[in-house]
Amino acid sequence: MSRIKRKGSVMWGAVYFGTFIAVFFISVMMKLKTGPFHGKYTVDWNDRVGTVYTDLPYGDGDLNKFDLYVPAGHTKNSYGLIVYLHAGGFTSGDKSGDGNILKWLCAKGYVTAGVNYTLFTEETPTASVYSQTMDVKDAIPYVAAKAEQLGYKLDRMAIGGGSAGGTLALVYAYRDAGASSLPVKMVFEMVGPASFYYENWTNYGLDQNPEAAAKLFSAMSGTQLTPEMMLSQEYLEIVKPISADRWVNKNSVPALMAYGTHDKICPYLSVQPLIAALNKNNVPYDYFEFPHSGHGLQNDNKLYTQYMDKLEEYLMKYMN
């Protein structure tokens, strides 16, 4: 199948990607203003807690960089690594926006890293969800090598993310874990598109419009699709590399997930095939459904707290 060559055709998909951005940031700002957690999931960061090394390279691209957070002192023989991937609808965002959660996790004794990936923009129209998954895959060995260079021996890892970062985290955990330079123990994410079946993308009307579905999934997969391919199901093999549910097996890692039933950005139904795959293969998971929230999960604070508490349980169980 030929790669996308026409810039105009590729950028058509940006209309949908742009919607990810606008509503996501509105939802996040609403959550930040409510501040329901009173600092429970943050830390007063200083040199006694840890050190951050910023903009470390892992490739030749402008955005092939990561930030590394290491806990103060060297009190352990080995450490777990937690990678967190930023949100932004695959078209924007930056690792620096996740500083709070990365510092909080580092304060618990983990080495943590925020990883940038090449965004889908007018300057980089050939970037796609697929190329971004490959960026993340390429970055992990560099993250591990830098940590060990600083004296932190790593022997396990978890990966997480929000929105677009959640999708990339799921793909790494289920498609790439077998080839990871570190054993992957768990994945955690919020509101990341977890599968690519166009009939589930009802919030964009793709279930009723194969032409629009072909254009959007072309931009996401990095490969040209046609409406005929959507209707014949031929597209399923093309989007498999970015569909986390298609890679789950009996040896797959546990997952912690959260989705809002009123989400207009991430297709809410996209998580259902992943849940089915996890159930079929008896893979442990916890799924939080936010009945009053959209993409920012801003209207169910009690559930949000439960999700974060469950994350701490997962870290204790799978990363210690």
Q: Is residue 132 within 8 Å of 90, Cβ to Cβ?
A: yes
pTM as predicted:
0.90
Q: Are 283 and 251 in contact (CB under 8 A)?
A: no
Q: Whole-number mean pLDDT of the chain?
A: 90
Query: 3: pLDDT confidence band, cut at 50, 70 and 90?
Result: very low
**What does the pLDDT look like over 250-296, one tens digit per residue?**
999 999 999 999 999 999 899 999 999 999 999 999 999 999 999 99
* Closest C-alpha among 91, 98, 107 to residue 46: 107
pLDDT of residue 228: 98
Strand locations in the chain, DSSP E? 50-57, 65-71, 79-85, 111-115, 154-162, 184-190, 255-260, 285-290
For the chain, the farthest-separated pair of C-alpha atoms sits apart, in whole angstroms, at 60
For residue 222, the model assigns a pLDDT of 97
pLDDT of 68: 98
pLDDT at residue 12 is higher than 90:
no
How sure is the predictor about 4, in pLDDT bands with cuts at 50, 70 and 90? very low
Average pLDDT over residues 198-202: 96
Question: CA–CA separation, 37 vs 287, rounded Å?
Answer: 21
pLDDT tier at 37 (50, 70, 90 boundaries)?
A: low
Q: What is the pLDDT of residues 108-160, one digit of tens each?
A: 999 999 999 999 999 999 999 999 999 999 999 999 999 999 999 999 999 99
Cα(228)–Cα(163) distance, integer angstroms: 29
d(CA 40, CA 180): 32
